[in-house]
Amino acid sequence: MGRGRAWLSLVAGVAVIALAWWLLNRPLESDTATSPVASGSASPSAQTSATPAPPGSVPANAIAAQAHWTIDGDTIDISIDGVVERMRLLNVNAPEKRSGARPAECLNFEASGVLIDLAPKGTSLRIVRHGKDRFGRTLGAAWLADGRMLGAEVIRQGYAAPLTVGGVATYRVEMESARAEAATAKRGLHAVTPACTVPARVAALKPQDPSAPTLLVELQSRAPHAGVAALTDAHRASLIATVKARG
């Protein structure tokens, strides 16, 4: 009888262990529902499908580099043979971060996030230098291994504007094409959400709105911030007309 009870105790113990293992390792129905992608919290670049680069789009004189650190949506530190230099992406203007008394511009954080997602530290790049800017930064362009151009991708996802400085418009065609795609899809700075974008602010105007004059100045500025500069001429003209009608 003693041996029988000992055998039953052993069997029961094994069953308890097996049940505990199953409870700890079974798949949970909530795993997928609470993942970042499933809950819609993926980064902007993850939500926008990549546009394949045309064959031969990387210039023959591009040299090898690695992404080292992202400064903001249009500036990145790169490493060439172990030497780090700061590069301002040519013909790209992303929203500015806060600096001293100057407030941060709409979607500046998201613009930086797009560049980080595209080229995290250690990413292989091909770059072309175009001299220095007045701050001593390298002016240049960078391409990913699949041929996509970094600056154009930030604009394509709606988080930057084309920019010509000092008459240098080397990549303006690529940037304009990327802007047209972002505008058509109403991404980022072209959208009516979040509330800080220019289209959202115009859409929120009421008749005789006291904020209309400020918006009109921004939209008609000859040196607009990135949120206005990102807009196509047609969209900008339409927003100006709306502001005037409600001001």
Catalytic residues: 88, 96, 137
Chain-centroid distance, C-alpha 175 = 15
> What are 67's two structure tokens?
């992404």
Among candidate residues 148, 225, 211, 210, the one with its CA nearest the CA of residue 181: 148
212 by DSSP, 3-state: which?
A: helix
Q: How far apart are the first and last CA of the chain?
A: 96
Query: Between β-strands 83-89 and 138-143, what pairing exists: parallel, antiparallel or unpaired?
Result: parallel
Chain-centroid distance, C-alpha 170 = 22
